[in-house]
Amino acid sequence: MKNLLFAGLAILLSCLMATAQEVRQEVRQGPAIQAVLQEHQALIAKSSRKTIAPAIDAIANSGLEQAQTVLQVWAEKKMWMRKSDLQFFIGAPTENGLIELTDFDGGAVLGALPKAEVKQLKPNSGVRALIATALVRFQLSDPDPARRQDALTSLQRDPDATLLAPLRASIPAEPDAGLKAQKQRLERLMTIGYDSDTQARIAAISDMSGGLGVDLRATLNPLVATTRNVVAGTFPAARPETANVAAVLTPGQDGFSQAQAYELLVAKGLAPPRITQADIRAALTANIKDEQVAGFAVTELDNDATRQQAYSVLANSGAVSPFVTDDQVAAALQSHVFFDSFADPSPKVTTAAVAALRNIDAKVSLNQAVDLTLDALSLASIYFLAAIGLAITFGVMGVINMAHGEFIMMGAYTGYVVQQIIPDHTLSIIVAIPAAFAVTFAAGVAMERLVIRWLYARPLETLLATFGISIALQQLAKNIFGTQARPLTSPGWLDGAWALNDVVSISYIRIAIFCLALIFLGIFLYIMKRTRLGLETRAVTQNPNMAASMGINPGWVNMLTFGLGSGIAGVAGVAIGLFAKVTSELGSDYIVQSFMTVVVGGVGNIWGTLAGAAMVGFLQKGIEWLNPSNTLAAQTYMIVFIIIFIQFRPRGIIALKGRAAGD
Amino acid sequence: MQHSFISKNPSVLVFLAILALFTLSVTLLSEGLGLGLISTSFVKTLGKTLCLCLIAVAMDLVWGFTGILSLGHFAFFGLGGYMIGMWLMYERTRLIVVQSLSQSEIPPTQSEVVDAIGNQIFGVVGSSEFPLVWIFADSLVLQLALVLLVPGILALVFGWLAFRSRVTGVYLSILTQAMTLALALYLFQNDSGLRGNNGLSGLQNLPGVSASQDAVSLWFLWASALALGLGYLLSAWIVSGKFGSAIRGIRDNEARVRFLGYSVVSYKLAIFTLTACIAAIAGALYYPQAGIINPAEMAPIASIYLAVLVAIGGRGRLYGAVIGAALVSLLSTWFTGGQAPDISLGFYTIKWVDWWLVLLGLSFVAVTLFAPKGIGGLVDYWTNRQTPDRHGADLGPDDGALREQEALK
């Protein structure tokens, strides 16, 4: 048994020796990528982000076919070094724990070595990033379109001046039209940023001028970024020659104050700093001797005038640096030239870039206006959706329902519960909409029967009673569902946004809400104008007694109308829950705005509600645009505006006239 | 024949007597001066309840007597609290800052003190500059004047805008609610100058007073009782005279009063502004006892609770408002404080902390439906006062018209 084992080992050993000799022979006759690797052997073996660059460049610029393979293998941590002669190979672990080596040059399999005789190269993430950049040039002309796309994406994210030439070279042979367009665009952008020829850059800028892409602005903006600088002398004699001057500044003008100018001088070490109150304080504190500073008692130093006198005495004695007087400051400002300089040294390029950016800015602001309009439209449709139920109960019936917001909340929670039962998001939304309608319709009918019908003649009491219900419902929801927000997930096909260009985009969910608002408007108009219920509702609203004598049951009609309004609130709740968090306070967030929408629009008229929602939505977005950091302020100003608006049109935008107006 | 005010309003004397008795007994039982049977925190709760009673009286004046359902009076309450809170916070911080700066080698200058105060107060909102609204914060007298002036002027301007364009009924309610919401949202911003949603805190410590909270809580109880007594007296005097008749007329039929030649706008404006000032005084006494004020206190819901208090107590009678405010706020403290025993139903345990609001909401609905006079209506049973039975069909076109059964009598 022992003998057999020894014999096996001996055979194996002799085999290994034989293959090793073969390897050496092959290396000698193969092409030179191994030579390139050997030239930078030490760097590659101990790769570090700081030192590896020459090695990678050498491989990438070797012009050999194998270079791409080497880089890929290296990045994938499959490159191994044979310890005996420090040469590099592709290594793959075999089943019996050995490492099978393959030559880069020629691709010959050289046989397996035990792990102890080889070393795996494990480049860290910094090195791998550098390798990836180097690989881009090969990938740009890779036969696999996905690889080419990846390379383009990485190049777009992180452009590199050295890759401009390989990119250009890869364009004519690009078979895919889409990729070709992308490559051409990227080539233009990189020309702007990195080309050595000024004329080419200017040509590229004028080619691209007028585009809206974020990438274009990201290319142009760094070129025209300015830094503030200063040189000694007077203008124009001391005009700085080396820098690409954007503007010469006069201290005290154009938002460049004298204080700022002097600070710049101090920061550049061209002038002594001014003595601040804090400096005085520190200097005085440092010079206290026997409860006295420069002849002043410490207790006297509780005002600025005495402190300055004491400091002057100290300064005269040479203990501290003297005050910088206003005259000295003025003289220092006089004797220096302040200017902004562009980051890019070429004036022609920056002039072209500034002109292009101005052109782009005009287009961008136009598109932003479009985007803002879309935003406002979607906000308006949300308000309309929240208010349309109120337009029925409050607008048509004149019943003020403070629990309307809680019906919206109930609808949203119904959607949440349905989603717990039916996991499929699309199906659950389809089920949730009628379910929410049914739940809130029932709640509305119950509330009308139990509470509101006793209070038709007393609107203020209706307000209070429904408010009581609102408190109870809110707390009930809190007791059942807890205080944390519940998710109501929208179906996958509503994710994402419809992007017109880099500036104008609108999410699908907002489009869906807009459509839903339109559908509801249609339903409302149909019911009110075309159905028996609508006719009876209008009759009962105008004169219940007369309607009753015509054979209409006012109680029944009121109940159904109120139920309808509440049901619509429930459906609105599902829609609102899709983009807002479902909490017990969901409704109260919308209730004041909803009432505002109805009141501003004009009670009793659906077109008024539409106009009101549009006004409130556009107004809010407009104010937010003026003061983008502060949505709270936007809401505040909007409400103040509405209060003032009601002064001038107490009956709303579209006021009913004649008998229909009621009083 | 001239009747004196007291003889026409015996209930005022009864009320003042009960209030005095209540204050006296709380004082005797408190920890500060008496037997120590009532804890200091409960004395504070009672003091705060008195302030709520005062604003409820104001609410009753404007709603129960004038028919304006204002959902904005808690905003005035909060503003009053903010105004006094600014002085309390400024002065207390000043004392602390002066104390700490006196440790340094060089005595501080005036501007250094102010800067340090600004740093202390506005550090939480990432600023150190005093906003313009704090310009009078160093003067107690001016800030006390602002307690009345700021809510008063706001009420005057808002009321003038609203009443002039004849916004009435539920529209006015919604408008006042919107005003409250706007104010609360404004104060929630950090750059509103009133520390955003942090609000003003540490108000329970009176600057320069070394007495313990046991004593301070009693002082505030007395002040609140005094304010409630005076406010009640003033309100009773207003509603018992010609002015009172005019505002009740406005409540019952505004158009008719206008056609009789009264300036409805002036009457409404006067009562709206006056009640705003009363509310502000109540707030200025309430928040030093609460210790903290933030914009959430002024959310629209608070003003609606105020309407709930008054409606449950009974509108149109001043003592009703007081009863409602005292009862509901004390019950609310009891239930939400976790002192009420849980009710076990076997399958579910009713925890009152969770269910109190449901109970309040539903009882509010019940009061509106079945007892429009509120708890105060019980007094009518007691004194055998009958109101005309107005059931029966309308004779005229309007809801307020004479009813069938009245006409037949």
Torsions phi, psi of A585, nearest 5? -95, 5
Tell me, yes or no, whether B223 lies in a domain. Answer: yes
The answer to whether the Cβ–Cβ distance between B365 and A465 falls below 8 Å is yes
Task: Please say if the pLDDT value at position A660 is more than 50.
Answer: no
Strands A497-499 and A505-507: antiparallel
What pLDDT, in 10s, does the model give residues B300-327? 888 888 888 888 888 888 899 999 999 9
Q: Which tokens is B302 given?
A: 């608070």
Stated as kind and residue range, the H or E segment containing A396 is none
The answer to whether the Cβ–Cβ distance between B372 and A303 falls below 8 Å is no
**Contact call for residues B36 and B140 (beta carbons, < 8 A):** no
Q: What is the pTM of this model?
A: 0.77
| Residue to test with chain A: of B70, B111, B253, B365, most A Cβ within 10 A | B365
What pLDDT, in 10s, does the model give residues B366-399? 888 888 788 887 877 777 666 655 565 544 444 5
Torsions phi, psi of B214, nearest 5? -55, -45
How near does any CA of chain B get to the CA of A326, in Å? 22
Q: Three-state SS for A246?
A: strand
pLDDT confidence tier of residue A437, bands split at 50, 70 and 90 = very high
Closest to A573 in 3D by CA, of A635, A511, A516: A516
List B residues 329-388 in contact with A (Cβ-Cβ < 8 A). 354-355, 357-358, 360-365, 368-369, 372
Closest to B147 in 3D by CA, of B294, B288, B281: B281
Tell me, yes or no, whether B299 lies in a domain. Answer: yes
Contacts of B108 in chain A (CB under 8 A): 302
Cα separation, B389 vs B373, in Å, equals 14
Tell me, yes or no, whether B363 lies in a domain. Answer: no
When CB atoms are compared, the residue of B69, B109, B189 closest to A632 is: B189
- pLDDT value for A290: 76
Cα separation, B353 vs B338, in Å, equals 6
What pLDDT, in 10s, does the model give residues B157-191? 999 988 888 887 778 888 888 889 889 988 888 87
Cα separation, A465 vs A602, in Å, equals 24
Tell me, yes or no, whether B382 lies in a domain. Answer: no
Q: How many domains does chain B have?
A: 1
* Identity of residue A456: Y
Instruction: Answer whether B70 touches A (CB < 8 Å).
Output: no
The answer to whether the Cβ–Cβ distance between A472 and B362 falls below 8 Å is yes
pLDDT confidence tier of residue A39, bands split at 50, 70 and 90 = confident
- Averaged pLDDT, B55-66: 93
- Averaged pLDDT, A596-622: 85
Task: Please say if the pLDDT value at position A530 is more than 80.
Answer: yes
Instruction: Answer whether B300 touches A (CB < 8 Å).
Output: yes
Residue A8 contacts by C-beta under 8 Å, 6 or more apart in sequence?
Answer: none
Chain A residue nearest residue B197, CA to CA? A632
Stated as kind and residue range, the H or E segment containing A345 is none
Q: Which tokens is B281 given?
A: 């005084």
- pLDDT value for A579: 81
- pLDDT value for A275: 83
How near does any CA of chain B get to the CA of A474, in Å? 8
Chain A residue nearest residue B307, CA to CA? A464
**Sign of the alpha-carbon torsion through A435, A441, A444, A450:** negative
The answer to whether the Cβ–Cβ distance between A635 and B185 falls below 8 Å is yes
- pLDDT value for B151: 95
Provide the residue range defining the domain that includes B40: 5-342
Closest to A413 in 3D by CA, of A609, A573, A274: A573
pLDDT confidence tier of residue A570, bands split at 50, 70 and 90 = very high
Residue A144 contacts by C-beta under 8 Å, 6 or more apart in sequence?
Answer: none
Closest to B78 in 3D by CA, of B304, B307, B287: B287
Instruction: Please give the ipTM for the structure prediction.
Output: 0.81
Task: Please say if the pLDDT value at position A23 is more than 70.
Answer: no
The answer to whether the Cβ–Cβ distance between A285 and B372 falls below 8 Å is no
- Averaged pLDDT, A638-650: 80
The answer to whether the Cβ–Cβ distance between A644 and B170 falls below 8 Å is no
Q: Which tokens is A554 given?
A: 């006012």
Q: How many other β-carbons are positioned within 10 Å of the β-carbon of residue A426?
A: 13
For the ranges B73-82, B185-194, B204-213, the maximum mean pLDDT occurs at B73-82
pLDDT confidence tier of residue A242, bands split at 50, 70 and 90 = low
pLDDT confidence tier of residue B87, bands split at 50, 70 and 90 = very high
Chain A residue nearest residue B300, CA to CA? A592
What pLDDT, in 10s, does the model give residues A385-408? 888 888 888 877 778 888 899 999
The answer to whether the Cβ–Cβ distance between A639 and B164 falls below 8 Å is no
When CB atoms are compared, the residue of B171, B188, B300 closest to A599 is: B171
Q: Which tokens is A345 given?
A: 């040294």
- Averaged pLDDT, A512-529: 89
When CB atoms are compared, the residue of B111, B167, B182 closest to A636 is: B182
- Please give the span between the terminal C-alpha atoms of chain B, in angstroms, as a whole number: 31
Residue A362 contacts by C-beta under 8 Å, 6 or more apart in sequence?
Answer: none
Percent of residues, chain A, with pLDDT higher than 70: 92
- pLDDT value for B19: 93
How near does any CA of chain B get to the CA of A541, in Å? 15
pLDDT: which is higher, A164 or B18: B18
Cα separation, A67 vs A33, in Å, equals 7
The answer to whether the Cβ–Cβ distance between B362 and A468 falls below 8 Å is yes
* Identity of residue B360: L
Q: Which tokens is A269 given?
A: 């070490």
Contacts of B179 in chain A (CB under 8 A): 639, 643
The answer to whether the Cβ–Cβ distance between B354 and A478 falls below 8 Å is yes
When CB atoms are compared, the residue of B107, B166, B307 closest to A464 is: B307
Parse chain A into domains and list their residue ranges. Answer: 2-128, 140-224, 226-349, 365-595
Contacts of A630 in chain B (CB under 8 A): 189, 191
Starting at the edge strand that comes first in sequence, how are the strands of the sheet with A245-249 ordered? Answer: A226-232, A336-342, A245-249
Closest to B48 in 3D by CA, of B278, B231, B287: B287
Q: Which tokens is A475 given?
A: 């707390």
Percent of residues, chain B, with pLDDT higher than 90: 34
Tell me, yes or no, whether B43 lies in a domain. Answer: yes
- Averaged pLDDT, A110-137: 80
Q: What is the mean pLDDT of chain A?
A: 81
3-class SS letters over chain B: CCCCHHHHCHHHHHHHHHHHHHHHHHHHHECCCCCCCECHHHHHHHHHHHHHHHHHHHHHHHHHHCCCCCCCHHHHHHHHHHHHHHHHHHHHHHHHHHHHHCCCCCCCCHHHHHHHHHHHHHHHHCCCCCCHHHCCCCCHHHHHHHHHHHHHHHHHHHHHHHHHCCCCHHHHHHHHHHHHHHHHHHHHCHHHCCCHHHCEECCCCCCCCCCCHHHHHHHHHHHHHHHHHHHHHHHHHHHHCHHHHHHHHHHHCHHHHHHCCCCHHHHHHHHHHHHHHHHHHHHHHHHHHHCEECHHHHCHHHHHHHHHHHHHHCCCCHHHHHHHHHHHHHHHHHHHCCCCCCEECCCCEECHHHHHHHHHHHHHHHHHHHCCCCCCHHHHHHCCCCCCCCCCCECCCCCCCCEHHHHHC
Residue A332 contacts by C-beta under 8 Å, 6 or more apart in sequence?
Answer: A262, A265, A270, A271
Tell me, yes or no, whether B105 lies in a domain. Answer: yes
Is the peptide bond preceding residue A93 cis, with omega within 30 degrees of 0?
A: no
Closest to A637 in 3D by CA, of B186, B73, B191: B186
- Averaged pLDDT, B135-151: 91
What pLDDT, in 10s, does the model give residues A286-325? 888 777 777 778 777 778 888 888 888 888 887 788 888 8
**Contact call for residues A428 and A593 (beta carbons, < 8 A):** no
pLDDT: which is higher, B111 or B15: B15
Q: Three-state SS for A497?
A: strand
Tell me, yes or no, whether B24 lies in a domain. Answer: yes
The answer to whether the Cβ–Cβ distance between B170 and A630 falls below 8 Å is no
The answer to whether the Cβ–Cβ distance between B182 and A303 falls below 8 Å is no
Contacts of A465 in chain B (CB under 8 A): 364-365, 368-369
Starting at the edge strand that comes first in sequence, how are the strands of the sheet with A79-82 ordered? Answer: A109-113, A99-102, A87-93, A79-82, A118-120
Residue B407 contacts by C-beta under 8 Å, 6 or more apart in sequence?
Answer: B395
pLDDT confidence tier of residue B234, bands split at 50, 70 and 90 = very high
- Averaged pLDDT, A63-82: 80
Residue A336 contacts by C-beta under 8 Å, 6 or more apart in sequence?
Answer: A230, A231, A232, A233, A265, A270
**Contact call for residues B79 and B283 (beta carbons, < 8 A):** yes
Tell me, yes or no, whether B361 lies in a domain. Answer: no
pLDDT confidence tier of residue B20, bands split at 50, 70 and 90 = very high
- Averaged pLDDT, A517-544: 88
The answer to whether the Cβ–Cβ distance between A301 and B185 falls below 8 Å is no
pLDDT confidence tier of residue A29, bands split at 50, 70 and 90 = very low
| Residue to test with chain B: of A597, A643, A645, A651, most B Cβ within 10 A | A643
The answer to whether the Cβ–Cβ distance between B362 and A595 falls below 8 Å is no
**Sign of the alpha-carbon torsion through A46, A47, A49, A53:** positive
The answer to whether the Cβ–Cβ distance between A468 and B354 falls below 8 Å is no
Instruction: Answer whether B398 touches A (CB < 8 Å).
Output: no
DSSP A494: G
Closest to B302 in 3D by CA, of A588, A482, A599, A597: A588
The answer to whether the Cβ–Cβ distance between A643 and B362 falls below 8 Å is no
Cα separation, A326 vs A336, in Å, equals 16
Q: Which tokens is A407 given?
A: 């019906």
The answer to whether the Cβ–Cβ distance between B165 and A454 falls below 8 Å is no
Cα separation, B157 vs B170, in Å, equals 20
- pLDDT value for A661: 43
A661 CB-side CA count, 13 A: 10
| Residue to test with chain A: of B104, B112, B119, B170, most A Cβ within 10 A | B170
The answer to whether the Cβ–Cβ distance between B300 and A592 falls below 8 Å is yes
Contacts of B158 in chain A (CB under 8 A): 643
